[in-house]
A and B are shown apart, each in its own frame.
Chain A
């Protein structure tokens, strides 16, 4: 036990570094391995401490501030590839590995985990799982939810448990991976996860189609979605995001294509033609420029750095309602005089809204006006941070009570 006590740090500067949504933790610990992490969780349980798991810290502003934080457990030392058999196209990684580090590791083997997200070099795999983080390529590959084949967690009493396996198809037991994915650190500490991988395709490129009206954007996206083309992204971006790419325009749709040369060429040929049909213009990105632009678009939804007068909203609707929602946001912002920028994964019906210059009252009004909100990230003190689940709130509460009966994990932060 003395080993555990020796890694619990109460130094003030360390504690402040790991401030959780404005709440300074009483202690911080960075376990060197899973065994120590399990001991730490059990010790915290015995002390009755309220625990917040911390990966890269890029998503800690999401949801409500925790009621109390006795201990932050930082997973950054759990950052190793645990098992990788390249020819199986599967990998097991520690939860503290960043997406960027994993990408670089896999690139050496000509493989990839085909998801992306903001702050790839800081955001950890565990954090991506806990927050159900998404990225541009969800249009084709989904989220980590869809790539995760196994998981290991440390439960609230220090118990290690696993589910799934290292095979790409598995119905042996319940799908605990789905339970922990998007559970915002309220059920257990995620310490490792297994994924299926895909080989890096022979060619990747992107078409950025530019439009001046949302009506044309809507028609173009519907046209592409109904076609038999297979773009891996369908990112609708507005003028500020376009500006970050160095492009002047009103609305853009970034459609990336990956695969055999001839298939990518077909997309690079046909997508601009379809854009033209809908009164748009196009430009093509290849090689490093394509990768750079895709990461810039992914970074548009970051919540690692949120201004004190800023509200970031992750929203979800049906694909057909994306443009109507943006038009509603336009109207609301115009009425209120708020500055905003919006960004959509148009074929998935999901996206992000950033509003600047808004105080807590205005932010609460935005939350009320947007029932499509999945979560908000803000420094402001709001009367509430979540909309109620659309169904099953009672069973969610029972799940929480079963896994964390004293509500010691991330207390008060999530909807459950």
Chain B
């Protein structure tokens, strides 16, 4: 891509010589994120330090017609940061500062390369937190959280990233640098911050964000409940939610996951247990013990074999560490795993988990489950050996089976990891042509040339441009899109 080489002197002028990565070996670092199914190196990587530098870089790239892909820490699991058409990666690594803390208004101004965990550690000094807490929070960045509308265990009570974004400073695909607002909750016009959050880097590149700070709860209780099997634990989840106890987090691990974390964290959990539930409740101190008692009773009513409150902060931290690092602990069981992200209505948890068990048997691969049970957000971990091609193919087949069943049960194809490259060909299982065409129309409003993170979200075989054109022609002719769902894939 000759144009890109020609850009290097101009990029040096914007971000300095140390802000441009052009060496082929160095570029390999950026050829994938946490999803290693599809790899493609960028032609160049640029590391801006300011919003203005980012806008100048984008202006150069789009003038040359070069794709632009934003990248935070590269922890994403759907290939959202993979430059599958090459081009220029803008890495936010050097945009990593807190710019302002406004305690009175409960808002914090950060750059997108700030690490999620570091932000919450920083805010803890003030008695606050940034509530979204993905399992990757010790590495993932705020910019990535915004791009993917990331979740985490505490989203059950506190909502996803979108509920914590107040205003975004963004470089649009035409190079314009805009603020969507100033942190006021109501703005004039369309809700640009709302639609940009979760747009997977296709609408703009966030360079600064006003985020909501949430007051740390006065008190919390954590309890670990062990069950003989998944159905009894799932029914406990339903009962807790239905009784209105509104935990801050409600997480489940199955037998395989218990085995993995037991070995790593010395929790001493009985390995004959079929499922473990981690339940956290928070709020003012008064009433929490009453809620805890109700939770414990519900666990016992549904056949819990042990209910262990984690009373000290150290015990609580240990239980949470086991949950948040469960994915890492899988290394004790298998050389590789494929982490599937899907959501079903909460009452369908027993059905989908039974199906996951069937899939494990049918595809002859062990599948562990570590997930956000309170949200119905499943994370089957398909254990396999990447070096064995047949195993890889079986793993992909197993994931497809699980996603199809999830949609059949009224679920969706991603709860918090995003679509990216990984799930783009599942989108038409869930949505009709018209649904996707409306999304394509929105994308085209921001990026008519499809230069920002091209090839993501929309099915590969019928991309955003084609969908948008289909829609625009239909609107111009006052007709509706008459393509039965699925027939054009």
Contact = CB atoms under 8 A, between A and B. Distances in A.
Interface of A: 38, 42, 45-46, 85-90, 110, 132, 134, 138, 142, 145-146, 153, 155-163, 165-176, 178-179, 181-183, 198-202, 222, 225-230, 259-267, 314, 316-320, 348-350, 372, 374-375, 386-396, 398-399, 401-403, 405, 414-416
Contact of B184 (A86, A318, A393, A405): A318
Interface string B171-199: 01000101111111111111110110111
Contact of A415 (B189, B197, B286): B189
* 7 nearest A-B pairs in the assembled complex, by CB-CB distance: A199-B244, A178-B194, A262-B287, A263-B287, A260-B287, A389-B189, A228-B218
B478 A173 contact: no
B100 interface: no
Contacts of B443: 174
B188 A388 contact: yes
Interface stretch (B113-121, B235-243, B310-318): B235-243
Interface in B149-207: 149, 151, 155, 159-160, 162-163, 172, 176, 178-192, 194-195, 197-199
Nearest to B437: A161
B412 A199 contact: no
B345 A88 contact: yes
Contact of A395 (B375, B427, B446, B472): B446
Given A174-B199, A318-B184, A405 B476 contact: yes
A374 B187 contact: yes
A171 B419 contact: yes
A265 B286 contact: yes
Given A171-B148, A389-B187, A87 B415 contact: no
B457 to A, nearest CB: 7
A163 B190 contact: no
B167 to A, nearest CB: 8
Tell me which of B286, B413, B444 has the highest count of chain A C-beta atoms within 10 A of its own C-beta: B286
Contacts of A387: 188
B310 to A, nearest CB: 21
Given A166-B410, A172-B430, A374 B191 contact: no
Contact of B283 (A155, A173, A259): A259
Contacts of A320: 104-105
Contacts of A267: 284
Interface residues of B, number: 101
A97 B418 CA distance: 32
B192 A225 contact: no
B106 A319 contact: yes
B444 A402 contact: yes
B243 A199 contact: yes
B478 A157 contact: yes
14 contacts: A87-B238, A157-B475, A168-B343, A173-B431, A178-B197, A228-B215, A349-B185, A350-B186, A374-B186, A389-B187, A389-B189, A390-B181, A392-B189, A416-B190
A89 B412 contact: no
Nearest to A264: B287
A169 B105 contact: no
B457 A173 contact: yes
A229 B481 contact: no
A262 B346 contact: no
B246 interface: yes
B435 interface: yes
Contacts of B286: 262-263, 265-266
Tell me which of A225, A264, A394, A398 has the highest count of chain B C-beta atoms within 10 A of its own C-beta: A398
B416 A390 contact: no
B160 to A, nearest CB: 7
A355 B130 CA distance: 39
Tell me which of A173, A227, A260, A386 has the highest count of chain B C-beta atoms within 10 A of its own C-beta: A173
